[in-house]
């Protein structure tokens, strides 16, 4: 499948964003066929290589009249512009929607920030952990007798940030087909997490909210938690519904199906947890995975990232999977997404012609695809943590 046959073929994107959420958003669009140009000011965006795939890179200093003039020329031929500056910075650089929409009324601009374009926290710095905290999500993660535990930076940066920003951009592009006009997308990561917490908030919308680590899906229920196996690795159990728990109970040899305990009774949780923990410690993880391979008991191995490329389900759906080449998703039947490669400078010059630049102008702004992102290196921690898998294997 070539780029000319994908769902977003013909859509042109300028990405002025930095760090992870914005580049992840534009990576999703590039995988779907959009032509994406990363615009840097001496530090071309996306220090994480996988987020740069399929994108072209240029250097523009938007603090200079010359840099802004080139941006204006490109905006005339652009469908989407993504930026992640603090509110007000884009306007100072001449890259705000109010100004650019006068150049191209069909432009869809997306401002992807932590707290949004207004509100008392709009100008505050932050990271995923801060946005989770303010959105009421962080306080729900972790054990009851431990501090809140951040779930990597998946929810705010990627789920509530980059993914929902792409969703908003596509909605604005679809609406443009009716109205002929672009619009501004204010994508705030706190807002995204608030939306993603819809089910927990509804479940907990009672006079007394459960304390951290005591909710139904927090690892307290014996039917919905992880268990350590004989080799120190883990299995995940998600046997919530009665028929699934009955299958679990029977296939563990704990009963014949007619004497299954009430796994939803909180009073039974401690004893059920002890019983299941003792049984799972009797075999190693892969033995349990094989034991439940054909079962509907909802038991799966907890895989380490470096095991994914050998897992039969991952390889069946994504034969080329690698940790530095995650799949292009979701699957579309006629116009599937595909991860892009690293464009060469000549290809970038040709693409910039479709953004309104002459070959000479394009050649002056093309940046090396591995241009450094300022003083930011990734990952920020290069030494393994004590007890990490890397350290254990060294």
Q: What are phi and psi of 246, to 5 degrees?
A: -60, -40
State the chain's maximal CA–CA distance in angstroms.
79
CA atoms within 13 A on the CB side of 149: 11
Q: Is 174 a catalytic residue?
A: no
- The CA-based angle 38-43-44, given to 5 degrees, is 15
Please tell me the distance from the alpha carbon of residue 234 to that of residue 230, in angstroms, as a whole number.
9
Q: Is 231 a catalytic residue?
A: no
From 15, 79, 128, 157, the catalytic residue: 157
The 8-class DSSP code of residue 157 comes to: I
What string of H, E and C letters represents the secondary structure of 235-295? Answer: EEEECCCHHHHHHHHHHCCCCCCCCCCCCCCHHHHHHHHHHHHHHHCCCCHHHHHHHCCCC
Tell which residue, 32, 30, 55, has the closest CA to residue 45: 55
Tell which residue, 75, 83, 76, 74, has the closest CA to residue 26: 83
From 61, 72, 77, 127, the catalytic residue: 127
Catalytic residue numbers?
127, 157
């Amino acid at each position: 499948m070539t780029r000319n046959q994908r769902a977003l073929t013909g859509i042109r994107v300028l990405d002025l964003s930095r760090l992870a959420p914005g580049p992840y958003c534009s990576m999703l669009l590039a995988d779907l066929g959009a032509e994406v140009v990363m615009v840097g000011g001496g530090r071309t965006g996306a220090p994480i290589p996988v987020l740069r795939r399929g994108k072209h890179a240029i250097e523009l200093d938007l603090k200079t009249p010359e840099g802004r003039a080139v941006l204006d020329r490109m905006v005339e031929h652009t469908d989407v512009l993504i930026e992640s500056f603090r509110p007000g910075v884009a306007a100072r650089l001449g890259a705000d929607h109010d100004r650019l929409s006068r150049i191209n009324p069909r432009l869809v601009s997306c401002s992807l920030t932590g707290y949004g374009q207004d509100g008392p926290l709009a100008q505050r710095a932050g990271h995923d952990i801060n946005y989770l905290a303010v959105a009421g999500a962080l306080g729900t993660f972790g054990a009851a007798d431990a501090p809140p535990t951040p779930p990597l930076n998946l929810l705010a940066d990627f789920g509530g940030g980059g993914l929902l920003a792409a969703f908003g951009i596509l909605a604005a592009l679809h609406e443009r087909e009716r109205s002929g006009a672009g619009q501004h997308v204010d994508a705030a990561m706190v807002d995204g997490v608030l939306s993603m917490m819809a089910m927990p908030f509804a479940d907990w919308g009672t006079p007394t909210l459960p304390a951290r680590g005591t909710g139904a899906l927090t690892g307290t229920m014996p039917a919905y938690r992880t268990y350590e196996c004989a080799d120190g690795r883990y299995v995940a159990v998600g046997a919530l519904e009665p028929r699934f728990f009955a299958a679990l109970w029977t296939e563990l040899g704990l009963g014949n199906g007619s004497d299954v305990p009430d796994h939803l009774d909180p009073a039974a949780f401690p004893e059920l947890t002890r019983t299941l923990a003792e049984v799972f410690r009797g075999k190693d993880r892969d033995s349990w995975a094989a034991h439940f391979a054909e079962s509907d008991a909802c038991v799966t191995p907890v895989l380490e990232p470096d095991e994914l490329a050998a897992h039969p389900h991952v390889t069946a759906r994504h034969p080329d999977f690698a940790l530095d080449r995650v799949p292009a998703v979701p699957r579309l039947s006629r116009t599937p997404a595909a991860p892009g490669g690293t464009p060469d400078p000549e290809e970038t010059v040709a693409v910039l012609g479709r953004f309104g630049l002459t070959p000479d102008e394009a050649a002056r702004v093309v940046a090396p695809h591995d241009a450094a992102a300022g003083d930011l290196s990734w990952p920020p921690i290069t030494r393994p943590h004590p007890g990490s898998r890397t350290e254990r294997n060294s």
